[in-house]
Amino acid sequence: MSKGGIQGDYIKDVAQIRKIIKESENFVFFTGAGISRESGIPTFRDKDGLWKKYDPSKLASRTAFISNPKLVWDFFYSRQRLVCQAECNDAHSAIERFEKTIQERSCWVITQNIDRLHQRAGSQNVIELHGNIFGVLCIECGKREQYNHDNFFNNFSEEKIPICTSCNNILKPDVVLFEEQLPPDEWRQAVQLSSECDVMFIIGSSLNVSPANTLPYHALKNQAVLIEINPNVTEMTSIMDFSLRESAPNILSKIFDLV
């Protein structure tokens, strides 16, 4: 295996990865916004990403929510509408098929995404590091409610800010905003799974958001094989065993169809 990115003809790489999969027991898929790009959901940090167009400090931070919840909710309502209209792509489906294929072995998805497309594709073992866009949380009483893409807008109107039915305070999207910590239980589980895995697929993540970007290092300490799938070079490409410059829907199908 070559470190630091393997480019060009992937036939040999795919064959090696298939052999590694057959000899391994514990798998983690660490996914970022890039895996949902082909579902029509914009990424955040690419050249055409959301944070090139919008200021996250005004639309996706805790300070922004406290000072102007309507503006933040307008932004999230538009994102929720977009996600409602999106469909799972072949990358989400390939991971779900792989999970079913190796039922007697361990397979988990640890995602930075808030779109729930992994669950809609049928993946069962999903850890959401940043929450999800169809949950709501009362920051006063702590009440949480979870909805789905097919019923969220049956319960909430884009004309109004959601209100907690228990304490009558404003609800916030149950996602991790800037200035907020990751959910501790999910983070502990993500670290444990990463520390125990034999193979980690890192798919569509820029790997520059902390602390989520430390998970590949936890896998590396366990001598796991790191397989990066990303059209772009990332800050951690140099530590990867395989770094495939392909779209996730295309390359995952090639890897898993014959596993």
DSSP 245: -
Identify the active-site residue in 92, 118, 130, 218.
130
Domain 1-39+88-130+182-259 classification at class level: alpha beta
Percent helix, strand and coil across the chain, each to the nearest 5: 40, 20, 40
Q: Which CATH architecture has domain 42-85+131-175?
A: 2-Layer Sandwich (3.30)
Torsion sign across C-alpha atoms 171, 142, 125, 130: positive
Report H helices in the chain. Answer: 11-22, 50-53, 56-59, 62-67, 69-85, 90-101, 117-121, 152-155, 184-196, 215-221, 248-256
DSSP 51: H
Do the bridges between strand 131-138 and strand 171-175 make them parallel or antiparallel, or are there none, so unpaired? antiparallel
- 221-259 pLDDT, tens per residue? 999 999 999 999 998 999 999 999 988 998 998 898 755
Domain boundaries, the chain: 1-39+88-130+182-259, 42-85+131-175
Mean local confidence (pLDDT), 137-158: 95
Question: Residue 167, annotated ligand binder?
Answer: yes
Model confidence, pTM = 0.91
Does pLDDT of 134 surpass 80?
Answer: yes
Question: Residue 141, annotated ligand binder?
Answer: yes
Does the annotation mark 130 as catalytic?
A: yes
- 188-204 pLDDT, tens per residue? 999 999 999 999 999 99
Does pLDDT of 167 surpass 60?
Answer: yes
